Amino acid sequence: RFKAVIFDLDGVLTDTAHYHYLAWKRLAESLQLPFDQAYNEQLKGIDRMGSLELILAQGRRSYTAQEKLALAEQKNQHYQTLIADMTPADLLPGAVAALQRVRAAGLGIALASVSKNAATVLERLGITGHFDYVVDAAAIARGKPDPEIFLTAAQALGVAPADCLGVEDAVAGVAAIKAAGMTALGIGHPFVLTRADVVITSLADFNLAAY
Ligand code: G16
Ligand code: MG
């Protein structure tokens, strides 16, 4: 019943969500700010500057715009060091099979990641060729939970939002899919992704006909 599937990257196709966590943790520790996995849940799918604001909000002092840019750049350097050694072995179980099944069913495939490193990660994973369209994060004005990134992907594929299945591991991402008027497939836990239409543990359980 769908005409296209729009995938998130981090935490769906590969576990860069963990690398983002490690990079933010290193930055938070250098600033002596509290940061743990639970707080990190709120950051998933949130863009770089938005994530930084959430981390800095844990402390008392205020930072100038210039300081914030420098801190975001530090985090990005930690992150780029972590992703430098990624290979196709870093694809999550079922990721390539899911992309192949969507393709075999004749549906369009797009990537909706707010990460400015997404193209690099796709290359390292060797899956760039699976996508009809990859949204340029730099061209997106409003990050998740705003629907803009998913709507941009649907428009580029020439498909109505109602005919799209969005796949997300983040609370903000699921909210963006629903705000776009699409069906949301959550990857993770139903207690966390309460707004998803269906939740599966990983793409290893992906069954297009069931959604
Ligand atoms: C991802 C991550 C976020 C990260 C964002 C920006 O979004 O989930 O944690 O803050 O990218 O990444 P970068 O700093 O590389 O631009 P998504 O949409 O892929 O889940
Ligand atoms: Mg994600």
> How does pLDDT run across 139-161, given as a tens digit for each residue?
999 999 999 999 999 999 999 99
**Atom nearest to 12 CA in ligand 1:** 20
Beta bridge partners of 199: 186
Is 169 designated active site?
A: no
**pLDDT tens by residue, 158-184:** 999 999 999 999 999 999 999 999 999
pTM: 0.92
CB distance 148 to 179 below 8 Å: no
Q: What pLDDT, in 10s, does the model give residues 3-18?
A: 999 999 999 999 998 9
**With 90 as the cut, is the pLDDT of residue 41 above it?**
no
Q: Give 115 Cα–ligand 2 centroid separation in angstroms.
A: 9
Non-local (6+) Cβ contacts of 116 within 8 A are 48, 76, 137, 138
User: Is 8 among the catalytic positions?
Assistant: yes
Measured from the Cβ of residue 145, the count of other Cβ atoms closer than 10 Å reads: 18
Asked if residue 46 has its Cβ within 6 Å of ligand 1, the reply is: yes
DSSP 92: P
In this structure, which ligand is nearest to the CA of 121?
A: 1
Q: Report the pLDDT value the prediction gives residue 67, as an integer from 0 to 100.
A: 98
Q: Which ligand is nearest to the CA of 136?
A: 1
User: Which residues neighbour 106 within 8 Å (Cβ) at sequence distance 6 or greater?
Assistant: none
Nearest CA to ligand 1 atom 12: 115
User: Looking at this predicted complex, what is its ipTM?
Assistant: 0.92
d(CA 204, CA 4) in angstroms, rounded, equals 19
